Structure 1
Amino acid sequence: MGIIQASIPLFFLLIAAELLFTRLGRRAFYRLNDSISDLSAGTLSQIAGIFTKLLLIGVFAWIYEHARLQRWVGVPAWPDGIMLRRDSSGVTIDWAAVVGWSSAFVVVDLAYYWFHRVSHEVNLFWAGHVVHHSSEEYNLAVALRQSAVGGLIGWIFYAPLALLGMSWEQFAVCYAINLVYQFWIHTRAISRLPAWAEAVLNTPSHHRVHHGVNPEYQDRNYAGVFIVWDRWFGTFIAERDEPVYGITTPLRSWNPLWAQLHQYVAIARNVRRAASWRDRWRCVFGAPGWRSASEGGPVVGLPVTPHTVIKFDTAVPSALSRYALVHFALAIPPALWLLTAADRLPALQLGAGAFYVALALTNVGGVLEGRRWAFAAEQARLGALAAASIGWLVRNEAPLWIGGASLCCCAVSVFVLWSNRAAFTLSSDERMDVAHRELAGR
């Protein structure tokens, strides 16, 4: 099991601790629909990572094996031995390995800085990263709201490390630790750390700025672990006013699949409308929000404060909110099973499992929005699950209680959907208008 997967229980434990902290302090850091969307997007990211990480590690390993610098010139190999050894004489420190691993961690973080920066400054890369910023909340659940497709091009920024002779095993460890570190900085529960930490490390304060949609905060503080990169390259700004979180053009959806894909769809539409090849190029590789002069010019963020922004919300019956929570929870065990068993599953079974998890989580998002399509799609999913459960029982492929529980769950779920079918009649825009009116009246 990889470092990130092994950290998942810790992630959920810390989310629970932050949630308890906010409840005791009467702070509104979490909303159920937003958090389900965050965790659903993160689950899709991990499922997609089964396939995309093979590309990243495969390309890295190929470059290391065939094109690393040490094959062509007489430079020392990158040290990657065991830093501490215990034998009969005691503990021995391999200082060359210590230097090698420390250097690897630093340069991986530097590569991450540039990958992250380009992911904000080039539209095609932003399309893969925008999902992480599309929540209008800021909490530890948002940390898990990650891209499912961004890894397809991220390898470009790490390939130079393979050229320098860093092994793929060393890279994979440093890369995973880098990402795990970034989890805890997605919190409003911690104000400031000691001055030395704020000067050197990426902290919750620095990263809150990065997630801010305030014009003065946009495209700042790209660091992964060490904030010194932002200080050196001129992209650092300290937190002053409370940030407003989200993106310039709000997502307005709880659908985790749409969150992953909406910017690619926007790029395709803009390319189709563009009047020249130069404009088409800039639609793809220009800055996010670029538009031609004929369409009004670039999208510019307006000044905002927490008091002037109405967050996206939807008004669905509490029974559907509970339904969404239950079926989100039921989608997690098969997702975890896929992650742990991916290396021994046939490709067809792996693909079918990934499709089922993606469908379940997408439907959950649709239910939270009261979408008409979700009412039909969820019944189709439940029907397929019921048929599979009957098949398991007939062929003795599952214990009786599992098949029976699955059938009962499907029956109760269909009953809940039909009992609340009136909630699926409003269009998305009409439902948003209702939510705005309710919030404005508070």
Structure 2
Amino acid sequence: MVLALGLTMVSVPAMAQVVPDETVPGAGLDLPANLQIFGKADPNIRKATAVVNDTVITGTDVDQRVALIVALNDFKLQPEDMQRLRLTVLRQLIDETLQIQAAAADKIKVTREEIDKSFDRVAASFKRSPDEMRAWLRQIGSSERSIKRQIEGELAWGRLLRARVDINVSQAEIQAILDRLTADQGTDEYHFFEIFMYATPDRANDVFAAQQRIIEQLKQGTPFEYLARVNSEATTKATGGDLGWIRLPLLPEQLQAAGKQMSAGQIAGPIEVPGGFSIIYLAEKRQVLRADPKDAKLSLKQLTITFPPGTNETQATQRAADFAKATSTMQGCGDAERVAGTIGAEVVTNDNLVVKQLPAPLQDIMLGLQVGQATQPFGSIDQGVRVLVLCGRDDPPAVGLPSAAQIEDQEIEKRTNLRAERMLRDLRRDAIIEYR
């Protein structure tokens, strides 16, 4: 189910509250159905933030969704960032309201039992019972109703898409994709994320400055996907700026030039591109239909020395030099315990570590080692100094062409998502939305 995954990111699908127009019995009192309040309004009453085709989205709806996103991502947001997040959530709430309404117009119904069962599964994914989940949601300022409305929206929209969208992928199209993959085998492809912002000539300086501020937020640890959803003006903002796996020739020349110089984990920008400016983040790099060496599993031994309190830099440097000299004479993993004993090092074994799990600077170092070789010492006075010894490497299996069925499924998903975007765009265009 999509919800269980979406809740772990800032992309939590939005939801709305439907406020019924009904009169509460007055227990014998002559109460009007429509009240006009004179004087100061009750501060506990939440005014509507927007009305979407007569469906009300209140400030409470926005607050509860924002609270959920902040809690799940452990965000520490400045006031201006919180306001941007609220606006993003409101847009998402409006979109989901339109989706729910469109499904209802096609007589698509989601039962209360289905929603309750889905809520229980979501709670289980958080390792909580339903009651514990409800208590946690109240604690963070969200609610059970908010989650259940989200579930209803996802189920309803998914069923509407299945009812309206019929995608066929021909055998000729599948074969063309297979041929293209074969021709591209061995070429580099990149997994980029992007934050694009439009800039007319008179706004270029302002947009450039805005992107510089975004880069500062990235340096401070704000997640790229969150900033893309809040700031990007490209269609990929809905997926956190994810461009997917792509070859450089398919990008604008300016992004190609930057991409050639980047390593995985790096960010570049602001980069002037046709129509505006972009910030790009390179998550991974690989070769088409080639196994990624960084998927190899390593068998390692780690030797660690620590420093007693009060050790100064000169003392630590000398001890690290002695450590390096001792480990340089080591004859493979079988000799690790003997060497550790001569210098008072601790030995830890890990037989199932994937190269990608190592810090980025160590990944290339480990890929360059032969079995039995050790790294140079690394670390700090506070955390100790370590050496890794490579005891074995299991290379990843060879990558073959995907099957025709896999390609068909991927194309159906891609085209369904495109059709869904068009449907939602049409719903927005025809909607009557009043902001309060």
TM-score (norm: length of structure 2): 0.21
- From the two aligned structures, give the one with the greater strand fraction: 2
- From the two aligned structures, give the one with the greater helix fraction: 1
Larger Rg: 2
TM-score (norm: length of structure 1): 0.21
